């Protein structure tokens, strides 16, 4: 018989260490990820080692896709563990080791034998990616266990604000490392990767302050991996809110489909030189920093679901705004990147707390795994976006994205209306 889920209440003396641990980790993680930024540093490093676009595409696919593909496997393993902080720390240390491995490979083989360096990168990038997926499930479960819903959403907003500041600082460090005449290849990349290695070790320190309460055992008892995977459709059929959440998040990923193309569109229309790359990046980071004040206010007044709805609505308007602003000047077009900072931040603040709010406590790890594995659109949509732009042009592609995003916003509103009348969740 279904048993009502018991929610752990947050002890008063845990609030401060939990806030500190997650903000501390978020700050140094953002600083660390700037050292291997997926849009600048990582592509430039691979381009130094190999001219093959196929190799870069394969590495990029592993970087983005491996955590999603293995999320159900990770959640199956972790669901039987009533304490997960140790697994979170283990995942962080593995990711840190991947940074160190990339630094060593680049230093030893980057100049003399770049083919070996690229070959070893497949190992390091795979380790870097799957350890992120493994740690991510433990990270979210620990937060869900130690922090109540409203406090969680506010924490994500505060954490994202400090992470944005750290990302800005990381950008300044990278700019300094890659200044002409300061360091040669491969030293600038080795230093950058070593900073990432040290940054992740420092980022983990705050979690030692958290006293993790013991979680509930899995609702369905012990299961084989195949049985665990086969029950996913039943979980989706049973929980309408989870079903709609996954649909909304995948629809919202359509905004990711055209993210790389806003800059390309501007360069084609305005014939921009490279100086605008840095200007638009600073505008986007400024939008990210300022947006956290807005999302923090929304979080204090409403819920994570409201942040998701506003974020998705804004994501539907940006393509239309871009189509209008290409008829102005490069400076006015910067508004697009300012707004992109808002939705990049909003996605991080809204979606995961939203899922933690709807997940039954005994099935939280299971829900996190299902969400990760089924959120596959985010990997393939940029490729689809490029194909659509080649076939139909920017205007039709941007309008299509707007329509999908606005439909996702309406679906999210319906989900909120349905949830208001739903009975309390139970673990079956």
Asked if pLDDT for residue 425 goes beyond 50, the answer is no
> DSSP letters along 379-427, please?
HHHHHHHHHHHHHH-HHHHHHHHHHHHHHHHHHHHHHHHHHHHSPPPEE
Q: Assign residue 153 the CATH number of its domain.
A: 1.20.1250.20
Asked if pLDDT for residue 255 goes beyond 90, the answer is no
Model confidence at 244, pLDDT cuts 50, 70, 90, reads: confident
Q: Is residue 243 located within the same domain as residue 378?
A: yes
Q: Is residue 183 located within the same domain as residue 235?
A: no
Q: How many CA atoms lie within 13 A of 2 on its CB side?
A: 11
The per-residue pLDDT for range 174-184, each reduced to its tens digit, is 777 877 777 88
The predicted model scores a pTM of 0.65
Spatial separation of the C-alpha atoms in residues 396 and 389, rounded to whole Å: 8
The per-residue pLDDT for range 59-75, each reduced to its tens digit, is 766 776 667 667 767 77
The per-residue pLDDT for range 187-229, each reduced to its tens digit, is 888 998 999 999 999 999 988 888 877 766 655 556 666 776 7
**Exposed/middle/buried for residue 282 (C-beta within 10 Å: 0-12, 13-18, 19+):** middle
355 within a domain of the structure (yes/no): yes
425 within a domain of the structure (yes/no): no
Q: Is residue 193 located within the same domain as residue 319?
A: no
Q: Is residue 180 located within the same domain as residue 75?
A: yes
- φ/ψ region of 181 (left if φ > 0, alpha if ψ in -120 to 50, else beta) reads left
Q: Is residue 57 located within the same domain as residue 88?
A: yes
5 within a domain of the structure (yes/no): no
Is 275 in a helix, a strand, or coil?
Answer: helix
Residue 364: give the domain boundaries: 231-419
Spatial separation of the C-alpha atoms in residues 289 and 162, rounded to whole Å: 8
Asked if pLDDT for residue 27 goes beyond 90, the answer is yes
Domain-ending residue, one of 148, 177, 209: 209
Q: Is residue 237 located within the same domain as residue 173?
A: no
pLDDT given at position 102: 92
Domain-ending residue, one of 163, 178, 209: 209
Model confidence at 413, pLDDT cuts 50, 70, 90, reads: low
1 within a domain of the structure (yes/no): no
**Exposed/middle/buried for residue 283 (C-beta within 10 Å: 0-12, 13-18, 19+):** buried
Q: Is residue 292 located within the same domain as residue 204?
A: no
Q: What is the mean pLDDT of the chain?
A: 77
Contact 219, 34 (CB under 8 A): no
Spatial separation of the C-alpha atoms in residues 134 and 299, rounded to whole Å: 27
pLDDT given at position 39: 57
Q: Is residue 100 located within the same domain as residue 181?
A: yes
Average pLDDT over residues 376-391: 73
393 within a domain of the structure (yes/no): yes
pLDDT given at position 296: 73
Model confidence at 246, pLDDT cuts 50, 70, 90, reads: confident
224 within a domain of the structure (yes/no): no
> DSSP letters along 119-152, please?
HHHHHHHHHHHHHHHHHHHHHHHHHHHHS-HHHH
Contact 2, 423 (CB under 8 A): no
Q: Is residue 138 located within the same domain as residue 253?
A: no
Contact 368, 75 (CB under 8 A): yes
Q: Is residue 178 located within the same domain as residue 307?
A: no
Contact 82, 217 (CB under 8 A): yes
pLDDT given at position 215: 64
Domain count, the chain: 2
pLDDT given at position 421: 45
Residues with Cβ within 8 Å of 178's Cβ and at least 6 positions away in sequence, in order, are 188
Spatial separation of the C-alpha atoms in residues 300 and 124, rounded to whole Å: 40
3 within a domain of the structure (yes/no): no
> DSSP letters along 331-375, please?
HHHHHHHHHHHHHHHHHHHHHHHHHHHHS-GGGHHHHHHHHHHH-
117 within a domain of the structure (yes/no): yes
> DSSP letters along 9-71, please?
PPPHHHHHHHHHHHHHHHHHHHHHHHTT-TTTHHHHHHHHH---HHHHHHHHHHHHHHHHHTH
What share of the chain in percent tops pLDDT 70? 77
The per-residue pLDDT for range 80-120, each reduced to its tens digit, is 677 778 888 998 999 999 999 999 999 998 888 888 988 89
Q: Is residue 167 located within the same domain as residue 245?
A: no
Q: Is residue 159 located within the same domain as residue 236?
A: no
Q: How remote is the C-alpha of 192 from its chain's centroid?
A: 21
Average pLDDT over residues 131-140: 80
Choose between 314 and 412: higher pLDDT: 314
pLDDT given at position 222: 62
């Amino acid at each position: 018989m279904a048993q009502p889920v018991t929610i752990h209440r947050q002890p008063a003396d845990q609030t401060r260490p939990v806030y500190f641990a997650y903000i501390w980790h978020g700050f140094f993680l953002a600083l660390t990820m700037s050292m291997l930024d997926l849009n600048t540093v990582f592509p430039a490093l691979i381009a130094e080692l190999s001219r093959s676009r196929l190799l870069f595409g394969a590495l990029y696919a592993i970087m983005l896709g491996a955590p999603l593909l293995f999320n159900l496997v990770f959640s199956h393993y972790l669901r039987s563990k009533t304490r997960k902080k140790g697994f979170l720390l283990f995942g962080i240390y593995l990711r840190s080791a991947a940074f160190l491995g990339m630094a060593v490979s680049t230093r030893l083989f980057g100049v003399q034998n770049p083919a070996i360096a690229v070959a070893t990168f497949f190992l390091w990038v795979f380790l870097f990616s799957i350890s992120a997926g493994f740690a991510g499930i433990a990270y979210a479960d620990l937060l869900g266990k130690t922090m109540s819903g409203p406090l969680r959403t506010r924490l994500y907003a505060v954490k994202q604000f400090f992470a944005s500041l750290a990302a800005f600082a990381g950008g300044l460090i990278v700019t300094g490392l890659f200044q002409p005449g300061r360091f040669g290849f491969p030293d600038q990349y080795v230093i950058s990767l070593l900073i990432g290695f040290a940054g992740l070790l420092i980022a983990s320190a705050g979690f030692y302050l958290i006293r993790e309460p013991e979680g509930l055992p899995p609702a369905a008892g012990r299961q084989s991996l195949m049985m665990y995977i086969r029950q996913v459709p039943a979980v989706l059929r049973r929980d309408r809110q989870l079903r709609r959440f996954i649909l909304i998040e995948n629809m919202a990923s359509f905004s990711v489909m055209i993210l790389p193309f806003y800059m390309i569109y501007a360069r084609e229309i305005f014939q921009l030189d490279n100086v605008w790359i840095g200007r638009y990046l600073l505008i986007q980071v400024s939008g990210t920093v300022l947006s956290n004040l807005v999302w923090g206010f929304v979080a204090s007044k409403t819920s994570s679901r409201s942040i998701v709805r506003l974020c998705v609505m804004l994501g539907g308007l940006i393509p239309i705004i871009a189509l209008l602003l290409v008829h102005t000047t490069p400076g006015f077009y910067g508004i697009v990147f300012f707004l992109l900072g808002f939705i990049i931040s909003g996605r991080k603040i809204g979606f995961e707390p939203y899922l933690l709010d709807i997940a039954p406590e005994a099935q939280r790890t299971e829900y996190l795994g299902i969400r990760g594995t089924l959120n596959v659109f985010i990997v393939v949509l940029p490729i689809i976006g490029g194909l659509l732009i080649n076939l139909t042009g920017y205007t039709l592609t941007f309008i299509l994205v707007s329509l999908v995003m606005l439909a996702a916003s309406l679906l999210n509103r319906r989900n909120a209306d349905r949830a208001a009348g739903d009975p309390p969740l139970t673990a079956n």
